[in-house]
Structure formats: structure tokens, C-alpha cells
Amino acid sequence: MKTLRLFLGDQLNSQHSWFDTVNQDITYVMMEMRQETDYVTHHIQKIVGFFMAMRQFAEELKQKGHQVAYITLDDEINTQSLPQNLLWLIQELDIEQFEYLLPDEYRLDLQLKNFCQNLAIPSKAFDSEHFLSQRDELATFFKGKKTFLMENFYRMMRKKYNVLMDGNEPTSGQWNFDADNRKKLPKDHRPVEPLVFSKNVDDIVKLLSQSGVSFIGNIDAKNFLWPTTRQESLALLAFFLENCLPQFGTYEDAMHSSYWSIYHSRLSFSLNLKLLHPLEVIQKSVEYWEQHQDTITIAQIEGFVRQILGWREYMRGIYWAKMPEFAQMNFFGHDRKLPSWFWNGQTKMACLRHAITQSLDYAYAHHIQRLMLTGNFMLLAGIHPDEADAWYLGIYIDAIEWVEITNTRGMSQYADGGIIGSKPYVGSANYIDKMSHYCGNCFYDRNKKTGDKACPFNSLYWHFFERNRNLLEKNPRIGMSYVTLNKMAQNQRQELLKQADFYLEHIEKL
Ligand code: FAD
Ligand code: SF4
């Protein structure tokens, strides 16, 4: 039976069972579309990375003997809409049956379901064979529970896949080494130079500008840095294991103005496009650790496994348990617009200037830069979660809604009212200075809370707690902040709030 099988840009899983045999009755289709380049303003490296990876994936399939229809952005038959392109192909190729892999995005899931409902030929959806938990597994696991504790889900996943386990107990008797993993980079410590892939992507960059696609960020079209094939992704994994894993956990939360990825893996793009399978990343990492236990402590490997087996699967489960309501949540009722310097990095705050400029240059910031710099500022300043989502969904190369929105609206902005985090992740200059080297070179003074050049994070921090007293004061995990706030002399508190109001009024000038 003549079959059309669709691959979306984030479904580049060459190990999928669809490819176990070569069948000339099956045509695989992939498409570059304005529907996808335009649903948010993306970083140019993100669009280029997706298109490059899709093109190479299609080429590999052809070389293996599969029939492939690849529709480029400027193809004259391209209607720029997924359903319209599919209908055209079905007619053109006399297709008798349509198959697709379950999308990871609610938007596309709905679009394809609707499309299939109205289709005259039979259709079927298949698992993408990528994730380690089923779409509804988290919802079933937490059924009847008020809170969705990541730690509980993670422990279940460790047992299920027998990762770092001795029978039913965690290897070395401890589940979690987070407390060991919070060090600042020592003064003269130089992390390893990141492995990058210098590829020429001139033709895609030209295509985007000729097509009038809007984008943000910078790109060196002769030296594209990101892996776009499975082979390159495996090389990045091998590089990570040898050079970064020994220090991964220790400096996981560290930030530095001279280094953009420190010991982070930068594997999120490869993982999210499914060029790598999460289980192979975990198994190879654990194997590497087992062979190098003299130089790699359990805290490093557990920290890494937790991110992929824990956080990544957990976020996906939350997404499917809570969408589409999740995308509307705004617990604090925040409504401020994102200041324009988020799009160009032109702020006097050294920490945010670096995190934003780096994001524009590399389409990447590591977790703590996202959570405790940009996200922290947005939350303290009361930015509308829609604005936060649009920025994060656009700017990062790894940003796909299922993992972006849960991290942004949930973990970072607490707009879900505590489904993901048991308290908002906020910090003042004290935290940022403890974990980074930004404050020494800043226009603002980390030690000042009010007055000339006082660090904005300091007054905004207390303003956040004061204005959200009704919503947060009873949270047992935040009690101490209110004890401190309540003990403050009345005039000191007023000064702090006045300072924060002034900064919020002049947010564009910060
Ligand atoms: P590493 O630090 O090396 O971690 C290894 C892997 O673990 C990552 O590649 C990733 O697959 C996984 N991982 C780590 N933390 C998380 C997490 N919190 N949620 C899910 N997976 C995790 N991640 C995305 O993949 N796409 C996003 O759009 C995205 N948006 C984010 C927005 C905010 C506000 C925050 C706070 C975090 C976001 N994250 C997102 C999670 C995390 O920051 C990135 O996965 C990580 O920075 C990617 O870099 P890395 O590959 O070097 O990660
Ligand atoms: Fe950031 Fe404040 Fe430190 Fe400046 S002083 S780098 S604004 S935390």
C-alpha cells in the first residue's frame, strides 16, 4: 500500500523501527515551512540548525535507499502550511495511507489530529521511540496527589531503568548529591574550550533572508557551531564525557563572564531533535563513570543523570498532564512588558548583559543563567509569562515548547502556582555574586540595596515578596523571607520598595 510517512524537524531519530526495512511503497516526507519559522521569532541559529539537521537527515535516508520527499522553504509547491502540503503530496503521489510520529508539541499534535479526522484515506500515529516515559506516565504516577515532586518521579525512573542502582537501593546509598554541586569557579580556573563544529551554512542563511523570515540573534555563517548530525552529536557526547563530566556537578551552577558553557554538555539540541537517544546518553555516561571512578565522583554522574532521566522526562510528563491550561497560567497576575534590552543586551547590569549577549551570540545559556539571571529578573520585575515564554521559545537553540514552557512558566516564573517548584526561584545580588564573577565589573553595587547605583536585584527581591504577600506568606518553604521582611524597620522597608518602584518605572534604562 502506498504510504506517506511524515517526519517533523524535531523527530530525526535514525534508530526508529520505521527504518528496519527499506520499502519502495513508503515515502518519507520532511518540510521547511513558514508555519514553523514564524510561530514565534526564533534565533537565526535555531532555524538554521533545524533546517541543516533536517536536510542532512533526509540525505542519509536517501543514501540508505529510502524514498524521501523533501520540501525546501523556497520550493514552488510549498504552501508553507503542513496540512496543505500533505494534501498536495497525497494527491500527487497517489498515497493510500498516511502515517506520522506523535508530535511533542500540543500545537502540532492538534493540527495533525484534525488533519487526520478529515482525511479520506486511513491514517495512523506512531510513537517516536525517544522518551523514557509515556506521555501520560507522569499523570498516572502522581494520580490523586496534590504536588508533583520531581524527586519521586526521578527515583521511580532510576528503578525502572536500573540506573545507578544496587538492587532496590541507589548506588552508594544516596539518591541525590545536589548539596555537593554548588561551587563557584575558582579564581584562576579555566574550563575546557568547548568543542564546536565549524560548518558553512551560508546557503540556508541566504534562503532565510531572501524569504523575508524574521529572526533574532547573530550567526557566523561560515562557522556554524552546533552539531546537526547523529555523528557530530555522538562526538559531542564523547567530548563531554572525557572533558566535562569530571567537573559537571561541581560547577553545574557556576556562572562566569568569560565562559559560555563551562562544563555543561550542550547536548540539549541533539537530544531535542532526537539525534541522540536519552538512554544511550545515560548508559554511555554511566559506563564512562564506571571506568573512571578514580577521577569522576558519584556526585558528577548522578548530577548529570538527574537532568536527563529526571528533569527532562518530568518536564515532558508535566507538559502532557497540564496542557493546554498550562500555557494560560499566571499565578501572580504579572502583566509587565519585557524591556527592549532583552533583545539586544544593552543594559548596565553586567550579569544580564552577559547572559543576554551570550544568548544572542550562541543561542545558548546554561541552566543557571536562564533560571537565576534572566528568569529571576523577569519574575522579580513582574513580566507577563507570555512575554517570558516568547523570549525563551525564540532565543534558545534547544527551545521546543514541551521543554521550554514547563521550564519557563513553571520552574522559572512560578506562573503555575507551584506545580513544578515548591517555591519561586528568586535571588538577590548575594546569590548572583556567590555563584559568578559578574558583580565586580558592574555599574551597580552588589552591596547596596537603596540609593545611587544600588543593585536592582536587591530592592526588586523584597518588592516581589511584599507585593505577593497574600500568595506566598503561608508557603512553609518561604517563611524565612517574611520573617526577615517583617523584622525590617518600617522606614528601611519603605525605602526598599520606593527604590524598586523607581527601577520598575525606569526599567528600560536599567
Ligand atoms: P546540561 O546542563 O549539560 O544538562 C544535560 C541535559 O539535561 C540537557 O541537555 C537537557 O536535555 C537536560 N536538562 C537539564 N536541565 C533540564 C531541565 N530543567 N528540563 C529539561 N531538561 C533538562 N531546556 C531545553 O532543552 N529547551 C528549552 O527550551 C529550555 N528552556 C529553559 C528555560 C528556562 C527559563 C530554564 C530555567 C531552563 C530551560 N531549559 C530548557 C532547561 C535547561 O536549562 C537546558 O536543558 C540546558 O541548559 C541545556 O544545556 P545543556 O545541554 O548544556 O545542559
Ligand atoms: Fe548583576 Fe547586581 Fe551583580 Fe550587577 S551588581 S552583576 S546587576 S547582581
Instruction: Give the ipTM of the model, two decimals please.
Output: 0.99
**For residues 347-371, average pLDDT:** 98
CA 260 to chain centre: 16
Compute the distance from residue 431 Cα to the ligand 2 centre, in Å: 10
- Looking up residue 487, the CATH number of its domain turns out to be 1.10.579.10
> Counting atoms of ligand 2 from 1, which one is nearest the CA of 432?
8
Instruction: Compute, in angstroms, the gap from residue 455 CA to the centroid of ligand 2.
Output: 6
Q: How many angstroms separate the CA atoms of 6 and 26, rounded?
A: 10
Which residues, in sequence order, are bridge partners of residue 213? none
Over residues 44-68, the mean pLDDT reads 98
Is the model's pLDDT at 480 over the cut of 90?
A: no
- The reply to whether ligand 1 has any atom less than 6 angstroms from the CB of 367 is yes
pLDDT of amino acid 147: 81
Q: Report yes or no on 44 lying in a domain.
A: yes
pTM score: 0.96
- The label of the residue with cell 507522569 reads 138
DSSP state letter for 194: P
Nearest CA to ligand 2 atom 1: 351
Question: Ligand 2 centroid vs 351 CA: distance in angstroms?
Answer: 6
Torsion of CA 378, 184, 219, 346, to 10 degrees: 40
**Cα–Cα distance between 480 and 484 in angstroms, integer?**
6
The pLDDT value recorded for residue 172 is: 87
Residues 171 and 101 in one domain: no
Is residue 17 predicted with pLDDT exceeding 90? yes
pLDDT of 117 higher than 90: yes
**Ligand 2 atom nearest residue 446's Cα:** 5
- Contact by Cβ (8 Å): 28, 69: yes
Residue 268 Cα to ligand 1 midpoint, Å, equals: 6
Is residue 426 located within the same domain as residue 292? no
CA of 353 to the centre of ligand 2 (A): 10
Select from 204, 223, 200 the least CA-distant residue to 213: 204
| Residue range 7-32: mean pLDDT, rounded | 97
Give 189 Cα–ligand 2 centroid separation in angstroms. 22
Q: Which atom of ligand 2 is nearest to the CA of 349?
A: 7
What's the grid cell of residue 49? 540548525
Residues 394, 279 share a domain? no
Name the grid cell of 139: 499523570
Mean pLDDT within 169-185? 87
Are residues 265 and 149 part of one domain? yes
Q: Where is the domain boundary, 322, 349, 378?
A: 322
Using 50, 70 and 90 to split pLDDT, how confident is the model at 57? very high
Q: Which ligand is nearest to the CA of 410?
A: 1
CA of 253 to the centre of ligand 1 (A): 13
Confidence bin at 448 (pLDDT 50/70/90): very high
Tell whether 215 is covered by a domain: no
Query: Which residue has the CA at smallest separation from atom 41 of ligand 1?
Result: 367
Specify whether 163 is located in the same domain as 57.
no
Mean pLDDT value across the chain? 96
Query: Are residues 348 and 317 part of one domain?
Result: no
Please check whether residues 72 and 164 belong to one and the same domain: no
Does 373 fall in a domain? yes
63 & 104 share domain: yes
User: In the numeric block, which cell numbers belong to residue 180?
Assistant: 555537593
Tell me the sheet residues that pair with 28.
5, 68
Ligand 1: which atom is nearest the Cα of residue 408?
A: 34
Percent of the chain with pLDDT over 90: 95
Q: Which atom of ligand 2 is nearest to the CA of 350?
A: 6
Do 43 and 187 share a domain, yes or no? no
What pLDDT shows up at residue 91? Answer: 97
If asked whether residues 388 and 316 sit together in one domain, one would say no
Check whether 112 has a pLDDT greater than 90. yes
Task: Decide whether any atom of ligand 2 lies within 6 Å of the 444 Cβ.
Answer: yes
**Domain final position from 95, 126, 157:** 126
Q: CB of 438 within 8 A of CB of 354? A: yes
pLDDT in tens, 382-394: 999 999 999 999 9
User: CA 471 to CA 382: how far, in whole Å?
Assistant: 14
CATH of the domain at 285: 1.25.40.80
Name residue 209's amino acid.
S
Give the residue-averaged pLDDT of 420-434.
Answer: 95
Does residue 168 form part of some domain? yes
Residue 216 forms part of a structural domain: no
Q: Provide the residue range defining the domain that includes 41.
A: 3-126
Both 122 and 144 in one domain: the answer is no
How far apart, in whole angstroms, are the C-alpha atoms of residue 91 and residue 94?
5
User: Of all atoms in ligand 2, which is nearest to the CA of residue 455?
Assistant: 2
Domain count, the chain: 3
Residue at 430 is within a domain = yes
Q: What is the pLDDT of residue 355?
A: 97
Residue 359 and residue 301 in one domain = no
Is the pLDDT at 181 greater than 80? The verdict is no
Q: Which residues of 141-155 are buried (b: 16+ CB within 10 A; e: fewer)?
A: bbeeeeebebeebbb
Amino acid identity of residue 129, one-letter, is: E
- Highest mean pLDDT (candidates 169-173, 299-303, 371-375): 371-375
Whose atoms come closest to the Cα of 373: which ligand? 2
Domain limit, last residue, from 105, 126, 147: 126
Tell me, what's the pLDDT at 508? Answer: 97
Check whether 501 has a pLDDT greater than 80. Answer: yes
Q: Which of 446, 458, 459 to mutate to test the pocket of ligand 2 (most atoms within 8 A of CB)?
A: 446
* Residue 239 maps to a domain: no
370 vs 354: CA distance, rounded Å: 12
CA of 219 to the centre of ligand 1 (A): 22
* 226 assigned to some structural domain: no
Strand partners, 347: none
Percent of the chain with pLDDT over 70: 100
Q: Which burial class, exposed, middle or buried, applies to 187 when counting CB atoms under 10 A from its CB (0-12, 13-18, 19+)?
A: exposed
Residue 113: give its domain's CATH number.
3.40.50.620
Q: Which ligand is nearest to the CA of 435?
A: 2
